[in-house]
């Protein structure tokens, strides 16, 4: 079985995306052998009040146990503390996504540290995408900003006990491991869909340095095809036990499922 940490539903305004409906998304994932998934609502990138997107998502996942909801909030919005509490206690969200490149703040800002601290105190992992889609082919109205893994890593070091899942990031071992081959950012977990496998087997190198517990399978569906993500893990050079952890155990563990 496979658990996918990186999926989304909802309308993308800049191009047609197949299977963006949550029912079609589930069908596509199941056809590829995926048995469950964390999902965010794309509308949270664009709504003035992100909480509206979380209410939409909660209604969808309450009717579909295949998916685990991940909220999206903007710490610049005055009511985020109340909304975060509602997401955890009433909406059943198991994670929180921050997208500073869409919401107009930096990870070094006070508001970003505040929401990370609040999420960590509540035991909620935080998702930060390096990008949402490939910015090289972006629509002119979409953001061209990406977030470097070292910026996310330094952000994580600022709040003790924080757990951050980095998605859509082409990381290399040299960025996250020190000269002693130990993790520079112990609070980071990495989604696998953009980690190289065939060229240098970077995933296996990361597993050796970070530990298999810090790598989590993700596909990026429906924005990306699922098969390449599956092949990255299958041909990574990792052991069967490591692949099992990456593909199923780790995502569910970090979300507390």
How do the domains of the chain map onto residue ranges? Answer: 2-255
Q: What is 2-255's CATH topology?
A: TIM Barrel (3.20.20)
Quickly list DSSP for 201-220: -HHHHHHHHH-GGGEE----
Question: pLDDT by residue for the chain (257 residues), tens digit each?
Answer: 899 999 999 999 999 999 999 999 999 999 999 999 999 999 999 999 999 999 999 999 998 999 999 999 999 999 999 999 999 999 999 999 999 999 999 999 999 999 999 999 999 999 999 999 988 888 999 999 999 999 999 999 999 999 999 999 998 888 999 988 899 999 999 999 998 765 457 888 899 999 999 999 999 999 999 999 999 999 888 999 999 999 999 999 999 99
Separation of CA 143 from chain center: 18
Q: Whole-angstrom Cα distance, residue 214 to residue 185?
A: 11
CA distances from 82 to 37, 103, 224, 247 (A): 26, 18, 34, 34
Residues 6+ apart with CB under 8 A from 12: 20, 42, 133, 223
pLDDT value for 137: 85
Exposed e or buried b per residue across 232-241, where buried means at least 16 C-beta atoms within 10 angstroms of its C-beta: bbeebbbeee
Q: In this structure, what token pair is assigned to residue 86? A: 């509602």
Cite the DSSP H helix spans in the chain: 22-31, 51-62, 80-89, 100-103, 110-121, 149-157, 173-176, 202-210, 227-234, 240-244, 250-255
Q: What is the pTM of this model?
A: 0.95
pLDDT value for 90: 96
pLDDT value for 47: 97
Strands 215-216, 164-167: pairing kind? unpaired
pLDDT value for 198: 54
CA angle 226, 88, 257 (to 5 degrees): 50
| Edge-to-edge strand ranges of the sheet holding 2-9 | 2-9, 34-41, 67-72, 95-97, 126-129, 164-167, 188-191, 215-216
Q: Of how many residues is the chain composed? A: 257
Phi-psi region of 224 (alpha: psi -120 to 50; beta: other; left: phi over 0): beta
């Amino acid at each position: 079985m496979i658990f996918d940490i990186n999926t989304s539903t909802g309308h993308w305004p800049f191009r047609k995306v197949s299977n963006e409906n949550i029912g079609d998304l589930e069908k596509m994932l199941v056809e590829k052998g995926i048995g469950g998934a964390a999902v965010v609502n794309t509308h949270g990138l664009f709504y003035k009040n992100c909480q509206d997107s979380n209410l939409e998502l909660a209604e969808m996942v309450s009717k579909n146990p295949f998916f685990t909801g991940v909220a999206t909030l903007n710490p610049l919005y005055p009511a985020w503390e109340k909304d975060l509490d509602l997401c955890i206690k009433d909406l059943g969200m198991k994670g929180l996504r921050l997208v500073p490149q869409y919401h107009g703040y930096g990870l070094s800002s006070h508001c970003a540290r505040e929401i990370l601290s609040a999420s960590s105190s509540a035991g909620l992992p935080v998702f930060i995408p390096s990008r949402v889609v490939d910015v090289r082919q972006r629509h002119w109205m979409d953001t061209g900003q990406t977030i470097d893994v070292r910026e996310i890593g330094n952000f994580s070091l600022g709040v003790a006990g924080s757990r951050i899942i980095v998605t859509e990031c082409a990381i290399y071992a040299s960025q996250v491991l020190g000269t002693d081959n130990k993790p520079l950012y112990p609070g980071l977990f990495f989604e696998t869909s953009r980690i190289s496998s065939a060229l240098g087997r970077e995933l296996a190198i990361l597993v050796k340095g970070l530990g298999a517990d810090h790598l989590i399978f993700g596909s990026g569906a429906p924005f990306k095809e699922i098969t390449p993500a599956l092949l990255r893990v299958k041909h990574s050079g990792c052991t069967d036990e490591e692949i099992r952890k990456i593909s199923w155990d780790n995502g569910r563990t970090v979300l507390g499922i």
